[in-house]
Every structure is written in structure tokens, then in C-alpha cells.
A = this chain, B = another copy of it.
Amino acid sequence: MIIDCHGHYTTEPAQLTEYRKAQLDGLAVDPSFLPSRADLSISDDEIRERLEPAQLKLQRERGTDVTIFSPRAVGMGHHLGNEQTGYYWAEICNNMVRRVCDMYPDKFVPVCQLPQFPGVEPKKTIPELERCVNEMGFIGVNVNPDPSGAMWTDPPITDKWWYPLWEKMVELDVPGMLHVSGSCNPNFHHTGAHYIAGDTTVFMQLILGDLFKDFPNLKFIIPHGGGAVPFHWGRYRGLAQDMGKPTLDEHLLDNVFFDTCVYHQPGIDCMTKVIPTKNILFASEMVGAVRGIDPETGFNYDDTKRYIDGTPNLSTAEREQVFSENTLRVFSRLKL
């Protein structure tokens, strides 16, 4: 059984992005513009036409059984529009993901985005989280640790500002992938800098804080292999030690998990060498950040299953943990 824990709906029909554009264009003209809910006329065939030659084809080719599927990450754009627009947009995107999962119930399981907005308390996203989990069977949530879009104007994730959301996630028993969205700061390319910097930054926030003392059952996935974290594992172990914190294992590793969206063999080898196997969840983020074929291997950069298969650091039993067992444990609502 192979579960890809990190896939986004990056093959959405054009109507969805056109709706978003109309929503934001309307606001640009009239800041009080309240968009009507989309009259999104998208047929099942249109959804199939774009999914079949992409995610579904690649699942078959690569042997992925099921993908944990959420709205396009850069599309969340929490810093765009206004608070009210964000509620509509999150609902529409989550409904689209639910629809895809209903069309392919064996292939996709839904994770939601939240209607976050910079400067707005995360607790205001709870109704949408409850709707998705309680009414629509979502099994997890993507939380943007920086809804400002690479301006980082909200408090760190260990701040009480975030606590009502963490409480609700524990109550609902859903893990959160800490995944930033687009960047409005020209210094940060989104997939090449903001994503990786964001992953690294939240891990360091967790080292500095004591969040899991307050929430021993809260579970976070840090995507893209944890940013720079495995590569700098010695630095992080050493910083925690110098600060008098417990070892990273005690301090964080009952609660923090890393996905395998690292697009070459030496990266996965480094990760599987230093991160305990129980903390690694298979993922590829396909179809996503990198779409080409690696001339060094002849295979897609994001065909990460090959790197898990190819690493000398995992036994057959450990590969099973990475491919499915860990994911089933972390996403406790996932029943296959």
C-alpha cells in the first residue's frame, strides 16, 4: 500500500482560476465588493479530462494507491483579497476537492485549506474546518504559518494567537500540514524559496517553544522534507542542546513529521539517515513544483518513490512504514 500524503489539485479546470480572478478584480475596483458564490459550471468530464492525463496517470505509472489531496497551495493566497473573500474562496476550493474525491473515492482523500487572512485570528477559520471534517469527511488540514504571503506579519505558531485552532484540530483529531502559500515579496520565489524557508522557520519556532506540552496530541507535517531541517540536523540538535531544551526526539518527534518531497536520491538518503523512520511520510507533491525529467536519472524529479526504493538506509519493513503505516497513524481518520 502506497499513500502519497501530499498532493494538490493543480489540474483544476480553468473556470476555477477565472472565478478567483474575477473575485479579486472586483475587489480591486470596489474594496467593499462582496462576491456572490461562484456559479461554477464545471462538468464531471472537464474534471476528468485534466486529472486523467496528470495525477491519475502518474499514480498508475508510479504505483501510488491513494493521494491525500488538497487545494493548490499557491492558490490559497491568504494574503489576497480580504477576509470575506477568503471564506468564499476556501469553501469553493474545499468543495471542489471533495467533488474530486467523490469521483475517485479509491484514489483521493481530502484535506482542506482554511480561510486564513493576515492579522485575523486563526480561530475564525474553525467553522470551515468543522464543516470540512464533520460534514464532508476531510481527514486533515493545511495551515499556512504565514498568511501574509512571505511578509511574516503574524505571530509564530507557538503563540497563543494560534491556540484555538490547535485545540480544535486536536478535538477533531486531524493533523495539520504547515504549508505556506504564494509570496508577495519579490525576495522570495514561492516554490524555490518561500516554501523551503517557511518549512525551516516553523521547525525552529517549534524548537524555541513548548507547544506540545500544551498540546501533546497535536500533529504537524512539515512538507518538502522539512525544508533545510534534515540537512542541518546537527545544527538543530546542537541549538536545542545549547538552549537547554530536551533532545529533538523528546521535544518534537512525537508530534512533528516530515514528508519526502525531496527531488533527488542524495537528499532522501540524508533524510532517511537522520530522521527516525517513524517520522517520515511518503509524498511527492505531484503534479507540482517541479515537472521536468531529471537528465541524470531519466525519470521525473518528483517521482520520489524511486528514491525511497533506492535508499540503502531503509529496510523493507521501514519502507512499509514510510509508504503507508506512518501516514495511517498520523492521519487517524484515514481508513482504507
Contacts and interface: CB of A to CB of B under 8 A. Distances in A.
Interface of A: 146, 150-152, 154-156, 185-189, 191-193, 196-197, 200-201, 204-205, 207-208, 224-225, 227-228, 230-239, 241-242, 262-264, 266-267, 269-271, 273-274, 289-292, 294, 301-302
Contacts of A290: 234-235, 238-239, 242
B262 A266 contact: no
A187 B156 contact: yes
Given A266-B274, A269-B270, 5 more contacts: A152-B187, A189-B205, A196-B227, A200-B200, A232-B262
14 contacts: A152-B185, A156-B187, A187-B205, A188-B201, A189-B204, A191-B239, A192-B208, A193-B200, A196-B200, A225-B232, A228-B231, A234-B264, A234-B267, A239-B289
A241 B233 CA distance: 29
Contact of A204 (B192, B205, B227, B270): B192
A302 B238 CA distance: 9
Nearest to A235: B263
A235 B265 CA distance: 11
A294 B231 contact: no
Report copies per complex.
Answer: 2
A302 B237 CA distance: 12
Contacts of A224: 232, 235
Contacts of A150: 152
A301 B266 CA distance: 22
A96 to B, nearest CB: 25
The list of the 3 closest CB pairs from A to B, nearest first, reads A234-B264, A234-B263, A228-B228
A273 B296 CA distance: 14
A238 B294 contact: yes
A186 B230 CA distance: 23
B237 A301 contact: yes
A289 B294 CA distance: 36
B225 A238 contact: no
B156 A292 contact: no
Contacts of A185: 152
Contacts of A239: 191-192, 289-290
Contacts of A291: 238, 242
A98 to B, nearest CB: 30
Nearest to A267: B231
* Residue of A146, A207, A273 with highest tally of chain B CB at under 10 A: A273
Contacts of A204: 188-189, 192-193
* Residue of A155, A196, A205 with highest tally of chain B CB at under 10 A: A196
Contacts of A146: 187
B192 A235 contact: yes
Nearest to A199: B228
A235 B224 CA distance: 10
A207 to B, nearest CB: 7
A129 B76 CA distance: 44
A185 B242 CA distance: 22
